[in-house]
Amino acid sequence: MSNTPMTISRLIEFLGDDLWSESKYRESAIIFLHEIADIKRDEFVTFRDDDYIEIANELRKRNNKNSTINRKINALTKLLRAAQKIGLIPHVPTFKRLSEDRTFLRVLSKEEEVAIIRSMALKTAIYGSLVEFLVDTGMTVGEAIAIRWENVEGRLVHIPETTKGAARTLPLTNRAFRAIADLTGEIRGPFGRVEQPKFRIAWNEVKSELNLDADQAVVPTILRHTCASRLVGHGLNLYLVQHWLGNRDYKSMLKYEAFHRADNFNLCVTALEDIQR
C-alpha cells in the first residue's frame, strides 16, 4: 500500500482515461472530476468522509442541485475505487447520497442514451437495438419482447392488450424501424429471444461501467419515461401521450407535466397553416 500523498488531479492523470469507454458520457464524467479537483486541491494519503462533505458543500454553493452533486460525486467515487484497487490509497469511504426532489422524474440525457445504447450493443447487438426501440416507442420491455412478426406491418407495429397496457398501433421512427429491420432473421419476433433477467443483468453491468450504479432511477423503465418526456416536451398533450404509452389511468401521466412547455405556440401556427393547405 502506497503512502505517497495524492491529489484528485494526479489520480485523474493516472487513471482517468481508463475509467470509461469513449463516449459523450465519459467527457462529462471527466469534466465533473476536473471540477472536483479544482475544489479539493490539497494532497491526501487517505480520503475521508469529511472530504466528501467539503466537496458537496462547495458544489452546492455553485448552485448544483442534489441530483447533480450525486452524479458528480459518483464519478469521484469511481476514480477513488480504481485508485484503491491498485494500492494508491488505502480506503474509500461510502458517500451517503443526498436526498433528491421526488417530484423530479429522472430521464436520460442524450449523452447518457448514446452511452447506454453503445455499451449494451457491445454486450450483444440485439440489446443495443432493443434500447433504441424502447426509447423511440415508449414500450415496456415486456411489450417489446412479446412482439411477433405478425404484429408488424410495414412501419406500423401493433401492441396487443395486456393486463398492464392497452392495445395500440404505433408508427415507427426511422431508428425504431431500422432496429427491427436489422432483426428479420429472428424467428418469432424481433426481440423474441431476449430474456428479461439476462437483459437486466447486462443493464446493471452497463450502469456500473458508466458510473450510474448508485442512481436507483436508472432502470429499464427510464427508457419509457425518456420517450414520454420528449413527446410532452415537444408540445404533445398528455392525453395523446397517454394513449401512445398504452396507459389506462390518466393520473399516471401527471408526472410528465413538468416537461410540458406552455409557450410552444409554433405548434398552433403549424396546425392553422395545415388547415389552409
Q: Nearest 5°: phi and psi at 92?
A: -120, 115
Q: What does the block give as the cell for 128?
A: 443495443
Residue 227 falls within a domain, yes or no? yes
Query: Is residue 58 one of the residues assigned to a domain?
Result: yes
Give yes or no for a contact between 228 and 138, defined as CB atoms under 8 angstroms apart.
yes
Instruction: Clarify whether residues 80 and 135 are in a common domain.
Output: no
> Distance (Å, rounded) from C-alpha 245 to C-alpha 19?
36
Identify the CA nearest to 40 among candidates 68, 5, 65.
Answer: 5
**Helix intervals (H) in the chain:** 8-19, 24-39, 49-61, 66-85, 110-123, 125-137, 141-146, 174-181, 196-209, 221-233, 238-245, 266-276
In a domain, residue 277? The reply is no
Residues spanned by the domain of 247: 110-259
β-sheet bridge partners, residue 152:
157
Segments in the chain below pLDDT 70: 1-2, 23-24, 100-103, 262-264, 277
* Residue 254 sits in the same domain as residue 195: yes
Cell of 60: 452546492
What are the tens digits of pLDDT across the range 217-245? 899 999 999 999 999 988 888 999 999 99
CATH number for 223: 1.10.443.10
Q: How many domains does one find in the chain?
A: 2
Whether 204 is in a domain gets the answer yes
Residues 207 and 244 in one domain: yes
